[in-house]
């Protein structure tokens, strides 16, 4: 595990008005990549303290979270269960194959009633004080997940930035960043889900300082979760060519696409220093046909 991820300056993003850099969380670990280690660290610690035997969580068929949890559980001598938003007769994705390789047992609970089944499982487990089964919500959402994410900005080097920008799925990482940012820093989230009207409230539920300076910009989802188009692929390849930054099609590709658009719109104040968080997730690119990406 790399203790201090590097901050990479991005020359092709820098304008007369702003300087843009990238926090390379994707280089932390080959499996528990990007923000996943941060979001899981205190859950794993809590499960160990409670002497749980099995850790269970939820995710879609391309879930980075389930892969990371399967590996982390194995490393800490837990069994693991992944409840998947898919049907059992659907082909296994590379992500789910990886999770199984790390010992995760998969339960396919479909898409139609996924949320209600998830909520019932979590609530039922909370009522069992002596359960050996430890549940983590989808994407690591929750107080412990946000607490872990708040340690992402622990380096003194991150305090120099005026803006911090990150992609948003469940909002757990963004909540942690909001909680640990300095009062002068402006936090911007780029949701990758379409019409996610509850996201603000879900983030607010984890935010400690209700007066913190943060906002979500909902216009950059490019069709919704895991939706791709030729322009996005072209952008990701160009970014690799010019900056040698690998991105994924779900989160970081859309995030850096959004940052480029904001620069063109003169969104940032003059002389701003902008830090973009690379949250990992590169393994999701394996669902693309070979040769689609240059990296």
The CATH class of the 36-140 domain is: alpha beta
Structure tokens at 216: 């979500």
- Residue in this structure with the two tokens 């007369």, named with its chain if needed: 16
Rounded to an integer, the average pLDDT of 106-118 is 96
CA distances to 66, 106, 119 from 70, rounded to whole Å, are 6, 10, 21
pLDDT reported for residue 3: 62
CB within 8 Å of 110: residues ≥ 6 apart: 85, 86, 87
Do the domains spanning 7-33+143-287 and 36-140 agree at the CATH topology level? yes
For 186-226, how does the pLDDT look when each residue is reduced to its tens digit (9 = 90+)? 999 999 988 888 999 999 999 999 999 999 999 999 887 77
The closest of 69, 70, 81, 67 to 125, measured between CA atoms, is 81
| Cα separations in angstroms, 136 against 37, 81, 83, 180 | 14, 10, 11, 22
Q: What is the mean pLDDT of the chain?
A: 94
CA of residue 289 relative to chain centroid, distance: 23
For residue range 3-46, what is the model confidence (pLDDT) as tens digits? Answer: 679 999 999 998 878 999 999 999 999 899 899 999 999 999 99
Tell me the C-alpha distance between 228 and 205, whole Å.
Answer: 31
Give the span between the Cα atoms of 99 and 60, in whole angstroms. 12
Distances (CA, A) of 205 to 110, 126, 243: 27, 19, 36
Domain limits, the chain: 7-33+143-287, 36-140
Question: Residue 131: its pLDDT value, please?
Answer: 83
As a whole number of angstroms, the distance between CA 71 and CA 98 comes to: 9
CATH numeric code, 7-33+143-287: 3.40.50.1100
Tens-digit pLDDT profile for residues 243-252: 999 999 999 9
For residues 164 and 193, the answer to whether their CB atoms sit within 8 Å is no
b vs e for 31-68, b when ≥16 Cβ sit within 10 Å of the residue's Cβ? bbbbbbbbbbbbbbeebeeeebebbbbbbbbbbbbbbb
> Tokens 């990992």, residue?
280
Q: Do residues 283 and 67 lie in contact, with contact meaning Cβ atoms separated by under 8 Å?
A: yes
Cα 161 from Cα 123, distance rounded (Å):
40
């Amino acid at each position: 595990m790399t203790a201090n991820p590097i901050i990479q300056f991005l020359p092709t993003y820098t304008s007369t008005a702003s300087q843009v850099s990238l926090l390379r969380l994707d280089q932390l670990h080959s499996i528990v990549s990007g923000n996943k280690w941060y979001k899981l660290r205190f859950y794993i610690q809590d499960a160990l303290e409670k002497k749980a035997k099995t850790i269970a969580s939820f995710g879609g068929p391309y879930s980075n979270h389930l892969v990371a949890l399967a590996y982390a559980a194995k490393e800490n001598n837990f069994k693991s269960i992944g409840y998947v938003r898919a049907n059992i007769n659907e082909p296994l994705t590379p992500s789910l194959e990886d999770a199984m390789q790390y010992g995760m047992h998969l339960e396919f609970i479909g898409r139609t009633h996924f949320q209600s089944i998830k909520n019932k499982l979590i609530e039922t487990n909370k009522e069992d004080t002596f359960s050996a089964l430890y549940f983590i919500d989808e994407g690591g959402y929750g107080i412990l997940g946000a607490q872990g994410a708040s340690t992402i900005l622990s380096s003194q080097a991150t305090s120099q930035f005026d803006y911090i920008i990150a992609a948003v799925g469940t909002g757990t990482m963004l909540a942690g960043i909001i909680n640990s940012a300095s009062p002068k820093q402006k936090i911007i989230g780029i949701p990758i889900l379409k019409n996610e009207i509850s996201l603000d409230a879900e983030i607010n539920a984890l935010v400690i300082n209700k007066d913190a300076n943060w906002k979500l910009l909902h216009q950059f989802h490019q069709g919704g979760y895991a939706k791709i188009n030729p322009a996005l692929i072209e952008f990701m390849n160009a970014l690799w060519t010019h900056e040698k930054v690998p991105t994924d099609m779900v989160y970081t590709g859309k995030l850096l696409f959004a940052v480029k658009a904001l620069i063109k719109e003169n969104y940032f104040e003059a002389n701003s220093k902008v830090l973009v968080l690379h949250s990992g997730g590169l393994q999701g690119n394996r669902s693309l046909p070979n040769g689609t990406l240059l990296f």
